[in-house]
């Protein structure tokens, strides 16, 4: 089907479409600006996208992109005064305890059924897919909820 030649004239009832198009163009420009900032930051810390470097790590070789980003998030948290103790708080034992706590809480709600190992695996996937899983785990651990043996969301006095 041949395309109609654009005449540059507005068609009746097209004002809303033009407004949406203008808004989308603005969103695209903003996203492109943000991508450029992220790429600049990654380049600054020495991370080049696999497409740019021409070589990506194979299975089991080095850190994948998400792991590198997680390491950057962790390093940035260390620089923030509210999270400077992140290394002491987020020990492997504390993280494992947090996932065990979340699994127990999930299974306790309405006597939910399920294999605890499968529930914990699903929770781990969900948490590690978050934009900043370290902040989520940090907040959970320092909240004191893990020490509270009462009902989910119970308050603990410190």
The pLDDT tens digits of the residues spanning 32-76 come to 777 777 777 776 666 655 444 443 344 444 456 777 788 888 888
User: Per the confidence metrics, is the pTM higher than 0.75?
Assistant: no
Cβ 70 vs Cβ 133: under 8 Å = yes
pLDDT at 53: 43
- Stretch 4-17: mean pLDDT, rounded? 53
The pLDDT tens digits of the residues spanning 136-151 come to 999 999 988 777 654 4
Instruction: Indicate the domain borders of the chain.
Output: 63-147
The whole-angstrom separation of Cα 68 and Cα 62 is: 10
| Contact residues for 80 (Cβ-Cβ < 8 A; gap 6+) | none
């Amino acid at each position: 089907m041949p395309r109609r030649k654009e005449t540059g004239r507005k068609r009746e009832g097209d004002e809303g479409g033009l407004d949406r198009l203008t808004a989308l163009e603005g969103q695209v420009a903003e996203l492109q600006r943000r991508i450029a900032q992220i790429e600049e930051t990654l380049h600054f810390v020495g991370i080049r996208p696999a497409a740019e470097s021409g070589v990506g790590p194979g299975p089991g070789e080095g850190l994948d992109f998400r792991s590198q980003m997680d390491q950057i998030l962790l390093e940035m948290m260390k620089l923030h005064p509210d999270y400077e103790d992140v290394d002491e708080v987020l020990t492997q034992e504390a993280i494992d305890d947090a996932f065990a706590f979340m699994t127990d809480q999930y299974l306790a709600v309405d006597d939910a059924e399920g294999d605890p190992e499968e529930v914990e695996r699903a929770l781990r996937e969900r948490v590690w897919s978050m934009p900043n899983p370290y902040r989520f785990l940090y907040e959970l651990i320092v909240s004191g909820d893990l020490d509270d043996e009462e009902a989910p969301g119970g308050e603990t006095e410190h």
